[in-house]
């Protein structure tokens, strides 16, 4: 891995449809690519304005929790991760798997009930999954990214 991650104080993700309208209640998964053992994953959901904000402190806490709960699976520090991260609009199947995992570990991992409820009530089934890789290699307080999603032609099981 070349550049290392410099996660901003706040990463703002804006999800819009093909007409530019914000899309609320979209379940997103951020992936931080770790050089050792497993990558880190952090779930978030868009608000009514189609925005999700992830703070540096949330990312640090998520990594710390993963390392404490699963020391054999996670070893890399945040600063060791690749500068490139992935922001993924989850498929309906990935939403189901995320809900199951969050429910299983919510008591020990201190997962926010609002995230679980957000995923349970997400509108991902209406949209095609997609992902976007972004580079976070400069020290900044805030960084914003926009993801455009398309409606699906069929409805998968919710």
The ranges assigned to domains in the chain are: 10-149
Bridging pattern class, strands 27-32 and 10-17: unpaired
**pLDDT (tens digit, 9 = 90+) per residue, 107-133?**
787 788 899 999 999 999 999 999 999
From residue 87, alpha-carbon distances to 29, 97, 148 in Å are: 6, 17, 12
Does the CA dihedral 104-65-10-28 come out positive or negative?
A: negative
Residue 41: count of CB within 10 angstroms of its CB = 15
Give 22 or 144, the one with higher predicted confidence.
Answer: 22
Average of pLDDT values for 77-86? 95
The mean of the pLDDT values for the chain is 92
Average of pLDDT values for 15-38? 96
CATH superfamily of 10-149: Transthyretin/hydroxyisourate hydrolase domain (2.60.40.180)
């Amino acid at each position: 891995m070349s550049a290392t991650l410099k996660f901003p104080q706040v990463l703002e993700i804006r999800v819009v449809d093909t007409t530019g309208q914000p899309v609320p209640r979209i379940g997103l998964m951020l992936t931080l690519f770790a050089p050792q053992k497993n990558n880190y994953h952090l779930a978030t959901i868009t608000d009514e304005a189609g925005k999700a904000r992830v703070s540096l402190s949330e990312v640090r806490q998520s990594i710390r929790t993963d390392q404490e709960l699963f020391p054999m699976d996670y070893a890399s520090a945040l600063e060791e991760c690749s500068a490139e991260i992935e922001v993924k609009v989850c498929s309906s199947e990935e939403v189901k798997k995320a809900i199951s995992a969050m429910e299983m570990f919510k008591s020990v991992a201190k997962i926010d009930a609002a995230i679980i409820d957000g995923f349970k009530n997400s509108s991902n089934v209406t949209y095609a999954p997609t992902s976007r890789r972004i580079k976070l290699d400069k020290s900044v307080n805030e960084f914003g990214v926009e993801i455009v999603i398309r409606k699906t032609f069929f409805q998968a099981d919710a």
